[in-house]
Amino acid sequence: MAILGVDVTPDGSLAFAVFDNGVFVERGVEKARNIVHLFKKYKIDTLAVDNLSELFQHGRGIIRILGKLPYSVNVIEVTRGAEGYLKTEELVRRYFGVDRGHLDPIETATYLAMLASRGVGTPAKLFEEETIILVHRKISTTPGGMSRNRFMRNVTHRIKTIASKIEEKLKEAKLDYDLFLKEESGEVTSAKFVVYANREVVRKYVKPMRSIDIAVTIYSAPARGGGVPARERFLIVGVDPGIVTGIAVLTLDGEVLDTTARRGFSRGDVLRYAHQWGVPVVIATDVAEAPEFVKRLAAMCGAVLYTPSRDLSSEEKAQILEKTKWKAGTSHERDALAAAYRAYQEFKPKFEKLEKEFGSILKFDQVEYAKALIVRGYSIAQAVSEALKKREEKEVKVVYVTVEKPCGGRDESFTTRIKALEYENMQLQKELEALRSECAQLKRSLEDSKWRDLKYRELQNRINTLTVAIMEKETEIEMLKKTFLEILTNYGSKYKLLHLSELVECKGGESVGIICKNIDTVQEAVARGTMGVPLKQVAKLQLGEFFVIDFDAVRELTEEIKRHMDSQKDLDLKKIVQQYRRMLGGV
């Protein structure tokens, strides 16, 4: 772990000492720009200073390089501790036993590095938890000439293409960001991403780049203060996003604290601006469909998002401006103020009811807290109860009991509090009954679902079992069919296979051995005058398009058909003889 200690010399240069693995590897005095290389040379991860303001005044070059390094450097203000600020000489005497009235800059840098290695000092915040990715052109196009417009179009196209690729990478990495495009004469001259993540994280997905005409620079956003609310006051913040972002800050009483309009304002900038006055609990916009910037801002600070039922018209905004008697410098400030005030009007009836019924028992900060809870969806009774609990947590009450003389009457505030608690109790009883009813209904539904689910599982298991059994039987049948066909084909017997195409539709005069598919009985065959036999009487089994034919039965039926036909011929001959005899007798 390499530590760089620095101290400012009287001429504005920086004395430095590099402390690495328990030894000093380099010391000297240089201008700030000349010691920047030490960070890369020794992989310095801790910068020790005795006064942060001196670093901002004389070490701007160091701060810039710290913001662009591919890794984070811890900045330690060695002289600031739990006891407040102590001189470097006092710390040296305390930790090293060295009593010096005054240390020169090289000695100060040396001891600062050694003290930081022992954990002395307090970490300082140089940068916000935000990273800037700037896509910009490297060369000017002002002189240009005839080719200037074409060159500008090419630059614009390149900036948009690179910005689009960066945006895809940030989305894939699921990093939260804002994007601002700067335009001149209708052409994009730069794209600025404000990514809400540490620089080391961002550089895993996006790398710096330099080409002939375009550069991509990645650096940490310098600390600007305002990260922590200056006071516990709850606010309604109206926002009109765009290239120029309008902001309006209102109290929960509807008082306008300030409005402003800034170019390229990120969500972090908006929150830092609002934190000068307090904590935003409502983020408002003047349009029914909230812009993505406003949605993300509300989610970022955990505030309630307010949108009107329809877009506010210019007339409505002018009326609000007149009602508040606030002079808005720009249309963006006017729109932001209209959004914030319309949100205030939405909650105003509940705020007034709260103050009317419970203002006498709540202090100002408790009323503010209760209003913030109402904004978040609490009922008035619940909000008052929580506000009273908050007071009990903060206050230590001393109760005096007079034995000689009993109290003549109840304290008025105590009576009001009882009234509030009774009101809350009544509301909670109603909610409890509703919840009990809902719980009983859910239990019944759950039991019904369990029963249906059990029956369903039983039937499903039965279906699965039968499906498996059917598949097994079908497989067995197919195997038996194959075996049977092999026996008929290879070994021969009185049974033979006959394909469907070999069957004949008999109409009469067919020869012996023909199988008729349209005749069912021997009598029908005789009547048609065919020697073909009926399929149904000789087929023993059908296997798909094949029939197993019993040829013994074929022979027997053929004989039977022949006998019937012969007997029929004899009968016909007798009839002819009898008719002939009758004719002779008649003569």
Q: Does residue 152 lie in a domain region?
A: yes
Whether residues 82 and 24 fall in one domain: yes
Q: Please tell me the predicted confidence (pLDDT) of residue 147.
A: 62
Whether residues 36 and 114 fall in one domain: yes
Residue type at 189?
T
Q: Taking Cα atoms as reference points, which of 17, 71, 63, 55 lies closest to residue 36?
A: 63
Whether residues 149 and 105 fall in one domain: no
Q: Does residue 479 lie in a domain region?
A: no
Whether residues 239 and 353 fall in one domain: yes
Q: Please tell me the predicted confidence (pLDDT) of residue 583.
A: 65
DSSP letter assigned to residue 230: S
Domain ranges, residue 35: 2-124
Q: Does residue 377 lie in a domain region?
A: no
Burial of 583 (0-12, 13-18, 19+ CB in 10 A): exposed
Whether residues 112 and 169 fall in one domain: no
Q: Does residue 422 lie in a domain region?
A: no
Q: Please tell me the predicted confidence (pLDDT) of residue 399.
A: 41
Note the pTM of the prediction, 2 decimals.
0.53
**What is the length of the chain?**
587
Whether residues 160 and 246 fall in one domain: no
Q: Taking Cα atoms as reference points, which of 276, 281, 285, 231 lies closest to residue 252?
A: 281
Q: Does residue 402 lie in a domain region?
A: no
Q: What CATH number is given to the structural domain containing 193?
A: 3.30.70
Q: What CATH number is given to the structural domain containing 62?
A: 3.30.420
**Residue 275 phi, psi (nearest 5):** -65, -10
Q: Does residue 95 lie in a domain region?
A: yes
Q: Taking Cα atoms as reference points, which of 355, 328, 352, 350 lies closest to residue 340?
A: 328
User: H/E element holding 496?
Assistant: strand 495-499
* C-alpha distances in Å from residue 548, one per residue of 248, 485, 487: 96, 9, 12
Whether residues 118 and 135 fall in one domain: no
Q: What CATH number is given to the structural domain containing 250?
A: 3.30.420.10
Whether residues 180 and 271 fall in one domain: no
Could you read off the pLDDT of 242-290 as tens digits, one per residue?
888 999 999 999 999 999 998 888 888 888 888 888 889 999 999 999 9
Q: Please tell me the predicted confidence (pLDDT) of residue 308.
A: 92
Q: Does residue 458 lie in a domain region?
A: no
Whether residues 99 and 165 fall in one domain: no
| Domains identified in the chain, total number | 4
For the chain, 587 residues long, the average pLDDT of each consecutive 10-residue run is 85 87 88 80 86 70 70 82 82 86 87 89 78 83 60 82 90 87 80 86 88 86 60 87 90 91 86 88 92 89 90 90 87 92 93 86 85 89 82 46 42 62 75 84 82 82 89 84 70 74 86 86 86 88 82 86 80 65 60
Q: Please tell me the predicted confidence (pLDDT) of residue 396.
A: 42
- Domain boundary among the residues 163, 196, 222 is at 222
Whether residues 238 and 354 fall in one domain: yes
Whether residues 261 and 341 fall in one domain: yes
Contact call for residues 29 and 35 (beta carbons, < 8 A): no
Whether residues 191 and 294 fall in one domain: no
- Domain boundary among the residues 358, 391, 422 is at 358
Q: Please tell me the predicted confidence (pLDDT) of residue 40.
A: 80
- Domain boundary among the residues 358, 385, 414 is at 358
Q: Does residue 391 lie in a domain region?
A: no
